[in-house]
């Protein structure tokens, strides 16, 4: 399989290490996301994979072929950046055709790729005549048109408004999957990573700190930082006594922690069930505030000195001042360091 493999990559600028022993595998036919905050080194890793940065330490493979020293023009890589980088003097059709190797059907092939991104009606338009979303569609078509061995995308939808971003990345998901090549996408947006990725690598301060499928990272993150990347958290500090932690919202069993260990009980807002009637092991308290968010509503409870944030579906939403029952259905535990 022609997987993209980055092996033990380290890189520095002006003697400052920005990537430290970085390794990942982007599998053929899958979408791999490199997720992390701004400045963590993820774009540098992508540029090294593309050959836009000379490799300093480590190796890069496509399948069994070491391409670490291969010039960028010989790597046969499709690239899409945050800005579309279309040729301003060429129409959409000619931009896409530019990426196609010599062929008697060059124009027809270019039109077919424009059709795949729903831009066939704009084939004679210049980039300045297109919206940001339309430009990115053309850029994606151009990148795929020359049949690259791998696709690299660096924050490709970051400049689009939220609604357009969701639409275009959904279209891109199926188009990229159908290419059946390794796809590596850099993003700082966890929602984007969850929607697009078959596998996610989470990066912090130049290092991979966690990896897994979206479900694995959401349900079993390596630490609080990773957990917080994928949604809001309720964090309750406590001390272990005889395998249990006592809190204002109940008693919880904790494993593999010695007595007197300081720990964090981490609860996602959607891990708390609420009802206006009592159910087993539930606690009753007053709703402090309610905020409507469309598909869900956020309910705030103040239990002792602990403020809980709870997400509920909108079939039956409590109101400020209501007394409701709640129960934690799941939680995460991390050392309180």
- State the CATH number of the domain containing residue 315: 2.40.50.140
CA distance 24 to 47: 14
CA distance 269 to 67: 45
Please give the pLDDT value at position 315. 67
Asked if the structure places residue 259 within a domain, the reply is: no
Asked if 65 and 148 sit in the same domain, the reply is yes
Asked if 277 and 214 sit in the same domain, the reply is no
Asked if 308 and 174 sit in the same domain, the reply is no
CA distance 297 to 317: 7
Handedness of CA 94, 176, 222, 209 (dihedral sign): negative
Under a CB-based contact definition with an 8 Å cutoff, are residues 150 and 182 in contact?
yes
Please give the pLDDT value at position 295. 83
Domain count, the chain: 2
Mean pLDDT of 189-203: 95
pLDDT (tens digit, 9 = 90+) per residue, 107-150? 889 999 999 999 999 999 999 999 989 999 999 999 999 899 99
CA-nearest of 81, 168, 89, 162 to 133 is 168
Q: Give the CATH number for residue 161.
A: 3.40.50.300
Asked if 224 and 284 sit in the same domain, the reply is no
pLDDT (tens digit, 9 = 90+) per residue, 30-61? 999 999 999 999 999 999 999 999 999 999 99
Asked if 308 and 193 sit in the same domain, the reply is no
pLDDT (tens digit, 9 = 90+) per residue, 149-163? 999 999 998 888 888
Beta bridge partners of 187: 35
162-179 and 132-145 are packed helices; what angle lies between their axes, rounded to 10 degrees? 10
Asked if 134 and 11 sit in the same domain, the reply is yes
Asked if the structure places residue 256 within a domain, the reply is: no
Residue 281: band (very low, low, confident or very high) from pLDDT cuts 50, 70, 90:
confident
Is the pLDDT at 283 greater than 90? The verdict is no
pLDDT (tens digit, 9 = 90+) per residue, 208-259? 999 999 999 999 999 999 999 999 999 999 899 988 998 888 889 988 888 8
Please give the pLDDT value at position 15. 86
Is the pLDDT at 104 greater than 80? The verdict is no
Please give the pLDDT value at position 154. 94
Q: What percent of the chain has pLDDT over 70?
A: 99
- Averaged pLDDT of the chain: 91
Residue 305: band (very low, low, confident or very high) from pLDDT cuts 50, 70, 90:
confident
Q: Could you tell me the residue range of the domain that residue 170 belongs to? A: 4-229
CA distance 222 to 303: 28
Residue 99: band (very low, low, confident or very high) from pLDDT cuts 50, 70, 90:
confident
State the DSSP H helix or E strand holding residue 267, giving kind and residue range, or none if neither. Answer: strand 262-267
Please give the pLDDT value at position 160. 86
pLDDT (tens digit, 9 = 90+) per residue, 316-325? 788 899 899 8
């Amino acid at each position: 399989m022609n997987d993209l493999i980055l092996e033990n990559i380290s890189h520095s600028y002006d003697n400052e290490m920005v990537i430290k022993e970085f390794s990942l595998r982007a599998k053929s036919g899958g979408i791999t996301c490199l997720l992390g905050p701004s400045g963590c080194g993820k774009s540098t890793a992508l540029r090294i994979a593309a050959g836009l940065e000379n490799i300093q330490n480590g190796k890069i493979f496509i399948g069994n072929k070491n391409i670490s020293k291969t010039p960028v023009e010989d790597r046969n890589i499709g690239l899409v950046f945050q800005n579309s980088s279309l040729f301003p003097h060429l129409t959409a059709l000619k931009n896409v055709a530019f990426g196609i190797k010599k062929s008697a059907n060059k124009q027809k092939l270019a039109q077919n790729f424009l059709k795949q991104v729903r831009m066939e009606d704009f084939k004679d338009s210049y980039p300045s005549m297109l919206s940001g979303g339309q430009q990115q569609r053309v850029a994606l078509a151009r990148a795929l048109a020359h049949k690259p061995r791998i696709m690299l995308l660096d924050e490709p939808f970051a400049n689009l408004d939220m609604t357009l971003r969701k639409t275009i990345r959904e279209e891109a998901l199926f188009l990229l999957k159908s290419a059946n090549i390794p796809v590596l996408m850099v993003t700082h947006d966890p929602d984007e990573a969850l929607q697009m990725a078959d596998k996610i690598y989470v990066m912090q301060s130049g290092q991979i700190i966690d990896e897994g499928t979206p479900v694995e990272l959401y349900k079993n993150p390596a630490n609080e930082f990773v957990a917080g990347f994928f949604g809001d958290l309720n964090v309750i500090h406590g001390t272990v006594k005889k395998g249990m932690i006592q809190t204002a919202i109940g008693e919880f069993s904790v494993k593999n922690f010695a007595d007197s260990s300081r720990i964090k009980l981490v609860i996602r807002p959607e891990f708390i069930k609420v009802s206006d009637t009592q159910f087993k092991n539930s606690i009753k308290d007053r709703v402090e505030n309610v905020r409507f968010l469309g598909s869900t509503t956020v309910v705030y409870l103040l239990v002792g000195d602990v403020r809980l944030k709870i997400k509920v579906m909108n079939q039956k939403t409590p109101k400020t001042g209501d007394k409701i029952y709640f129960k934690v259905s799941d939680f995460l535990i991390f050392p309180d360091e």
